[in-house]
Amino acid sequence: MGIQTMMVIGAGQMGSGIAQVAATAGFRVILNDIQDEFIQRGLKGIQKNLTRDVEKGRKTEQEKAEILARIEPSTDLQAAAQTDFVIEAIIENLDKKAEIFRQLDAICPPQTILASNTSSLPITEIAAVTNRPEKVIGMHFMNPVPVMKLIEVIRGLATSDETYQIVEDLSKKMQKIPVEVNDFPGFISNRVLMPMINEAIYCVYEGVAKPEAIDQIMKLGMNHPMGPLTLADFIGLDTCLYIMEVLHEGFGDSKYRPCPLLRKYVKAGWLGKKSGRGFFRYES
């Protein structure tokens, strides 16, 4: 595969999870963010996950120490010059992601593959700002990264077969199951999931049933481990709204129109679990 050093850009929940599974697979990982405090917070989360693994007998103290030793913090994007592979895991904003890829294209060696952990944004557009579109690909990890097995691997219009194969092999080395998807708004996971969540919100909006009832019906009737409204609260209602807007704009189809109640909650600051209130209330 030829990949030894990887940079993960963004040390939040997704980025730190990706750094953890990459370091566990034996890669040297540069964990990058704009401020050291964000990186330290991410490293604390990784340490907590690994300590839990040790307590449950899944890893030894030595394995934990070796994994942590393979992760190197950096606030300097220029460190990407040392890498064979970069995974970007910053916020879902096309302009911000495009700017990062533009910079990476100038910094990284020609052979370096650039991947985005975007959950809905077009890989083809991100790739178009670089001079290596054949080496740009989507790797949509699921949350929480250390636990969830799936990686949606998204081919942009120009992504080469060689790049796809390297990413498929890399995913397997990280003990994940890669699934190939072409570049359409929302890919598969969010194109199917978000309209279901949006429809559940419409059921609340139209007074069909209370949130508890809707979730119970989906859990007991459809065998879902979590109801759609609880899941929306965990994802973040602002994120759900953003993805619905990407789908609505990308397809121009009214079936993807975000529910007005979803907009109202986001404007009110009721973003779900992270703000203490969404469709349900959460203790801080």
Nearest by Cα to 201 from 246, 225, 235: 235
> What are the residues whose beta carbons fall under 8 Å from the beta carbon of 199, sequence distance 6 or more?
none
- Helix spans in 56-111 (H): 61-69, 94-107
66 is known as an active-site residue: no
Q: Which of 119, 171, 198, 275 is an active site residue?
A: 119
Token couple for 42? 């991410």
Residues 278/265, Cβ–Cβ less than 8 Å = yes
Residues 133/156, Cβ–Cβ less than 8 Å = yes
119 is known as an active-site residue: yes
> What are the residues whose beta carbons fall under 8 Å from the beta carbon of 102, sequence distance 6 or more?
129, 130
- Interatomic CA distance for residues 232 and 195, integer angstroms: 11
Radius of gyration of the chain (CA): 19
Q: Buried (b) or exposed (e) across 159-173, using 16+ Cβ within 10 A?
A: bbeebbebbbebbee
- Helix spans in 56-93 (H): 61-69
One-letter amino acid for residue 216 of the chain: Q
Q: Which of 16, 88, 140, 171 is an active site residue?
A: 140
189 is known as an active-site residue: no
Nearest by Cα to 33 from 95, 115, 89, 92: 89
Distances in Å between the Cα of 215 and the Cα atoms of 121, 224, 270, 276 are: 28, 9, 18, 19
72 is known as an active-site residue: no
Q: Which residues pair with 6 in a beta bridge?
A: 29, 85
Q: Which of 32, 74, 117, 190 is an active site residue?
A: 190
Catalytic machinery residues: 119, 140, 152, 190
